[in-house]
Amino acid sequence: MKVALELDPDVRAALPPAWRRRLGVELRRMVRAAGTDLEVGFRLCGDPAIHALNRDYRGKDRPTDLLAFAMSEGAGGALHPELLGDVVISLDTARRQARRKGVAGLHSEVLFLASHGLCHLLGYDHQDDAQEAEMNARMASLLAKATGRSR
């Protein structure tokens, strides 16, 4: 299992090293708890970068909180069977959502979004109530393992 954490330069400058280290540890715990041996990449960026990705890959001309790119989907999906995929999170949007939700800080919101994206890579979706309930339960379990509050 390999977990890669990439931070765009503006994001790296905005986050203290201890915050980044803690996030890396928790993401590794989360991926381990997901039970996959495949490589997962997490990228933290700003709204401009995620806006461009959302426009180019989903045809939505606006920023979003996260995008998940499963490597097994689309043309060439079988080329790299060792890769699960990538989760891209906008730190700008995560910060706004954390304030709006009143969650305990940006870190909690980023972990929540990471668990959501990871679940999408694992094949979960939320198109109906049953799917959403199953995905939410999986996310809660992953978050608990990531933060050491095992479930």
CATH number of 3-147: 3.40.390.30
Q: Is the pLDDT of residue 101 over 70?
A: yes
Q: For residue range 7-24, list pLDDT tens digits in order.
A: 999 999 999 999 999 999
| 83-90 and 39-45 strand pairing | parallel
Least confident stretch, 44-48, 75-79, 82-86, 102-106: 75-79
What number is the average pLDDT over the span 50-78?
88
Residue 103 C-alpha from the chain's centroid = 17
Give domain limits for the chain.
Answer: 3-147
Residue 80 has pLDDT above 80, yes or no: no
Would you state the pLDDT for residue 51?
A: 98
Could you tell me the two tokens for 68? 């998940």
